[in-house]
Amino acid sequence: MWIVISSIFMSESKSNRFEMFSHKKKNKETSVSNVNVKLSQSEVEGILRTVPRDEAFYFYEEVGKPVGCIATSLVDFRDKINAVRWSSLVFHLRRKDFENWVSEVIGDSELAKRISNIWANDFNLKTKLCAAVDMRIKELREMSSTLAVVSEDLFVAPRLSETELSK
């Protein structure tokens, strides 16, 4: 069941807790299950992409009390984690909003798993969340650059000798 509250969509789960999203959940499989999984260039680009506003993450202090910050990519998400109050982070972390958005919209279940291991009552919550997202961005960018080098190597034409060129 979907309920619109303050321009966001919320779904009621089996435990009667609400999970807040800025969009409707999409039933799609995510391809990342752990850090050792090799991703294709398009999968990495998909995770690092900027999503439209209707799929963005909207930060709240509590239900019905938006902060006024939205994140449309992992980089934006990391930056907004530093910008919002600690109480907003606790609110979303307790409700599993961060891990659900990262998994279902961004498509990165590995980062979602890492976020789920961060305690909402941790004094260093902001630092740990930011570090987890930042580390994942760096891993994905490194994968992307490695994949680009490999694909360039595969498509380099063999050098022709002067004899072959003159033909």
Rounded to an integer, what distance in angstroms lies between the CA atom of residue 124 and that of residue 120?
Answer: 9
Q: What is the model's pLDDT at position 134?
A: 97
Lowest model confidence (mean pLDDT) among 68-72, 85-89, 105-109, 155-159: 155-159
What confidence score (pLDDT) does residue 38 get? 79
Q: Is the pLDDT of residue 127 over 50?
A: yes
Residue scoring higher pLDDT (147 or 69): 69
Q: How many CB atoms lie within 10 A of CB 140?
A: 21
DSSP 8-class letter at 25? -
Domain boundaries, the chain: 33-155
DSSP state of 39: -
Q: Give the whole-number percent of the chain exceeding pLDDT 70.
A: 65
β 8-12/2-5 pair status: antiparallel
16-33 pLDDT, tens digit each? 333 444 443 343 333 333
Q: CB count, 10 Å around CB of 110? A: 22
In this structure, what are the phi and psi dihedrals at residue 119, rounded to the nearest 5 degrees? -80, 135
pLDDT given at position 164: 55
* pLDDT digits 0-9 by tens, 52-91: 999 999 999 999 999 999 999 999 999 999 999 999 999 9
